[in-house]
């Protein structure tokens, strides 16, 4: 028995499927074009420029990702000019890029916990905010420093990074062998030594 609604639904669904397949083919072709373009960089030059960048470990990882995204369009000389002019520093400090790069960064809690504020600056850069906190049952008052526009908060107890909060929720890539870490919807939290 012929049902016009069923026939119409069948035609409409096959049109949608064909349209989606066509769209996916176009996206795959665009991706292949990008990969087929010759890079203006070698892998060793990408690593060298990011390693030599004068900044924190996090900023060096940002520079590496930035170079990888620009390797088809910018030459080494152009990029070095942007480093000298401050444009690269300005670019990697934008909040949108900070969050995007932080979601790709691997936070090794074993290398963060127990470190001095000076050692943490080498990892994340200078803190943007400093407050004093007084949690009960702790040897405080203690400094609480905020890094990467609020993405990282660290309470230093006895001069060492103890309570560490990463405000990326489930998107944070956290690695830890010896330090207990808990992940919640909005943040990842570690109490390294003082509970």
Nearest by Cα to 161 from 107, 115, 118: 115
Q: Does the pLDDT value for residue 27 go beyond 70?
A: no
Q: How far apart are CA 24 and CA 38, in angstroms?
A: 24
Q: How far apart are CA 166 and CA 153, in angstroms?
A: 7
pLDDT of residue 122: 95
pLDDT of residue 112: 94
How many other C-beta atoms can be found within 10 angstroms of the C-beta atom of residue 37?
10
Where residue 7 falls among pLDDT bands split at 50, 70, 90? very low
Q: How far apart are CA 128 and CA 121, in angstroms?
A: 11
Calculate the alpha carbon distances from 159 to 98, 144, 165 in Å: 27, 11, 17
pLDDT in tens, 105-131: 999 999 999 999 999 999 999 999 899
Whether pTM exceeds 0.85: no
């Amino acid at each position: 028995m012929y049902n016009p609604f069923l026939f119409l639904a069948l035609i409409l669904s096959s049109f949608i499927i064909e349209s989606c397949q066509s769209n996916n083919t176009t996206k795959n072709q665009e991706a292949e074009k990008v990969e087929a373009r010759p890079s203006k960089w070698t892998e060793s030059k990408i690593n060298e420029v990011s390693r030599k960048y004068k900044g924190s470990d996090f900023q060096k990882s940002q520079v590496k990702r930035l170079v990888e995204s620009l390797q088809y369009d910018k030459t080494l000389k152009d990029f070095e000019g942007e480093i000298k002019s401050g444009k690269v520093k300005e670019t990697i400090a934008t909040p949108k890029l900070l969050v995007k790069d932080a979601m790709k960064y691997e936070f090794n809690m074993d290398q963060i916990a127990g470190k001095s504020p000076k050692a943490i600056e080498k990892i994340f850069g200078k803190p943007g905010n400093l407050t004093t906190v007084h949690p009960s049952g702790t040897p405080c008052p203690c400094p609480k420093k905020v890094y990467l526009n609020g993405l990282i908060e660290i309470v230093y107890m006895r001069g060492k990074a103890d309570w560490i909060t990463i405000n990326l929720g489930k998107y944070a890539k956290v690695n830890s062998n010896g330090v207990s870490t808990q992940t919640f919807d909005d943040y990842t939290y570690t109490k390294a030594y003082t509970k």
